[in-house]
Amino acid sequence: MLNGIAVTEFRRGEPLFVQGHPARQMYFIVAGTVELVDGSKTEKHTTGGVLGAVEFLRQEPYRGSALCVTDTSVLVLNEENLSDFFQRQPQLGLILLKAVVARIPNGADQTIPAQAGPVQQLPESLLEILPPGHPQSEVRRPASDTDFLYAKTVECPVCHAAFSVFSIRESRLVTEKICPDFRVISSNFELLWYYAWVCPECLYAQPYTQFEQLSPMVAGRIRGQQQRYPLKGQFQFSSNRTLQEVFLSYFLVLRTFEFMNAPPAQFGNMWLRLLWLYEDLGDQRWARQAAEKALAYFNEAVMTGLRSDAGDQKLFLIMAELSLRLDRRSEALRYLREVLNIKGGSERYRRQASDRIHDLRIAPS
């Protein structure tokens, strides 16, 4: 307690708030350090700092994300305790008012621009990397997705810009089923929409598991390719991202893969995920094209890459499912038999292949 006002403790790495959420409270830092990320702009706030005040007072969504850099103690102020705070802590109240005024551009007589509309306007120059005739969709993820996410600040290994991303709270996910092609279906959350991280400055993009795992040599190669083939404009997801933004992020990943000369399996994995997205959208033509792309890359991976026996089995199982989507039943059976012919590897994969062969034999041609 601080003179009758409760002090709330946050651990290092926890967010105070996330961009786009309704600002139902503001935060006065009693001790610790908090990083505020708004797009490509990053600020550090320490003891005496005030965060979220302007949005709270104007009843707007938070315009940035605040992440605790250290264990942090804050006063959480809302409509219920704000009056009591000013009565009990008039000196701190004055500090708070000064901090609010300091956040308003050019003094208190200027209005604060409202947060951009719910959907970010993507530059036309970026949309050009989508294939001609690519489907357009402004389908959005529900606000409830934030229950499975937390804000995190990362540094781009290519241009070293710091920016905020959403990381997945995997401990909260409940798996409903795993499909034959190894797509994981989670209850009330779609992993595919948060698979890619994109640097808003240089547009370096990777799956979130690989984003920070880049050697200096490969980072230099990507920088050189970015200079040779520049794209104009910045990229940023909307607070409740759209499917169009997700598609663009995937094609930015494919662009990065080309720049870094990634192995075929990585291209195949991205096209496989695009296939799933197109199927969710109900666009069978683009789903078929994605299946063709993924299968071609995986065939190349079989010829050029080295994997464990279990890795080969999994790859053949995926290729079988892609072949079925392309109405190539005999080809699918051939891949499934390859799984059985591998002497080492996973018994579970062998059972999966055997069951799939049985299903195909009894199914009508």
The reported pLDDT for the residue numbered 98 is 66
Task: Specify the pLDDT at position 365.
Answer: 62
Residue type, 126: L
Residue 266: other Cβ atoms inside 10 A: 19
User: Do 316 and 337 form a contact (C-beta atoms < 8 A)?
Assistant: no
Sites in the chain below the pLDDT cut of 70: 1-4, 39-40, 91-92, 94-95, 98-120, 365
Q: What are the pLDDT digits (tens) for 141-197?
A: 887 888 898 888 899 999 999 888 888 988 889 999 999 999 999 998 999 999 999
* CA 331 from centre of chain: 35
Amino acid identity, position 83 = S
Tens digits of residue pLDDT in 72-98: 998 888 888 888 777 777 766 766 776
Which H, E and C letters describe the chain, residue by residue?
CECCECCEEECCCCEEECCCCECCCEEEEEECCEEEEECCEEEEECCCCEECHHHHHHCCECCCEEEECCCEEEEEECCCCHHHHHHHCHHHHHHHHHHHHHCCCCCCCCCCCCCCCCCCCCCHHHHCCCCCCCCCCCCECCHHHHHHEEEEEEECCCCCCEEEEEEECHHHCCEEEECCCCCEEECCECHHHHCEEECCCCCCEEECCCCCCCCHHHHHHHHHHHHHCCCCCCCCCCCCCEHHHHHHHHHHHHHHHHHHCCCHHHHHHHHHHHHHHHHHHCCHHHHHHHHHHHHHHHHHHHHHCCCCHHHHHHHHHHHHHHHHHCCCHHHHHHHHHHHHHCCCCCHHHHHHHHHHHHHHHHCCC
pLDDT of residue 117: 40
pLDDT of 127 reads 85
- Amino acid code (one letter) for 130: L
Residues 6+ apart with CB under 8 A from 167: 149, 150, 151, 152, 208
Residue 260 pLDDT: 96
What is the pLDDT, as a whole number, of residue 4? 63
Angstrom distance (rounded) from CA 69 to CA 118 = 28
Domain 8-102 has CATH 2.60.120.10: yes
The pLDDT value recorded for residue 116 is 37
What residue spans define the domains of the chain? 8-102, 124-362
Are the C-beta atoms of residues 92 and 26 closer than 8 Å to each other?
A: no
pTM over 0.85: no
212 Rama class: left (phi>0) / alpha (psi -120 to 50) / beta: alpha
Give residue 1's pLDDT.
Answer: 55
Phi and psi, residue 89, nearest 5°:
-130, 65
Closest to 253 (Cα-Cα) out of 270, 236, 238, 269 = 270
